[in-house]
Structure 1
Amino acid sequence: MKCPYCGFTQDRVIDSRESKEADSIRRRRECERCTKRFTTYERIDEIPYMVVKKDGRREKFERQKVLSGLLHACEKRPVSAGTLERLVDETESYLTESPERERTTSEIGELLMNRLKALDTVAYIRFASVYRDFKDVREFKEELEQLLTREQPGRKARAAAHTSPPAEKA
């Protein structure tokens, strides 16, 4: 909290009281630099974080909905529930730390897909197939081919390491 008199950011709370309606907390503070006192009010943030859908509709962000989608994508895959929980935490932090109250589903979906791609490629493909709404097998195949070409350099290096002839002893 910045002091309204000198702009210093360090203060101490002298007194806290709940309002009569119990919808805010009044705090008396004292600046540690200039020692002047000022009052602040704490209120519950009631404006929800919104998600703008592809068709323009706006919905309240629902943590459980995101987790459910991830659970479906990771079904029978070696991805722990704790890992998925952290992924949802990151997504929620992305929303709450943003200066805007609204984020598009494409921003959120891309964030999740990038994280899933690093965790498990099968879960990533499952999630992407629903999120990107592949219209036919061709679109699905293109996504798989892009994924495979990104992995190729690492695979070639590993394959070369395994197939090279053993070094001769001198």
Structure 2
Amino acid sequence: MEKCAAALERVNFVIGNTLCWAALGMLLLQFGVVLLRYVFGYSFIFLDEGVLYFHAAIFMLGAGYTFLVNAHVRVDIFYAKCSVRTQAWIDLFGHLFLLAPALVLLIWYSWPTVRGSWAILEGPISVGGIPASFLLKSLIPAYCVLLLVQGLAALLRDILRLKDTQA
């Protein structure tokens, strides 16, 4: 189980480290947009949309990595005071009955829109923008899959924690 969890976590680890470079790319692109607009007086919609695409990709694809490194927002009024075993049970419940169903529903309801967008290779958001809205919409199921992968890894780790505290 440990090896399986580690293999699943590796997916989000690699993506998270790659997205660090995407953040740098977004920063440089935004700097270029500002420089072009306010120094040279030029504005290009596709560059503005490029920043939006970077931003969306970083947040949507980085959610699994954020979960991996335990940097997500957590409101733990009672959780922190619980024993390791109780925390494992709470996490197990959350992963099985809150996280997974919500993500499966999101995939289910977003899939027709994503599929339709790919069917027509949906064009830009704005006139003169990046002709690839279908890629932007594809981030929704990708977000869900990456979080489900990390949720499964966390679930396996919860089971291991329960086994370890049982002995």
TM above 0.5: no
**More helix per residue:** 2
Max radius of gyration: which structure? 1
Query: TM-score, normalised on structure 1?
Result: 0.24
What TM-score does the superposition give when structure 2 sets the normalisation length? 0.25
Q: Which has the higher contact order (CA 8 A, sep 6+)?
A: 2
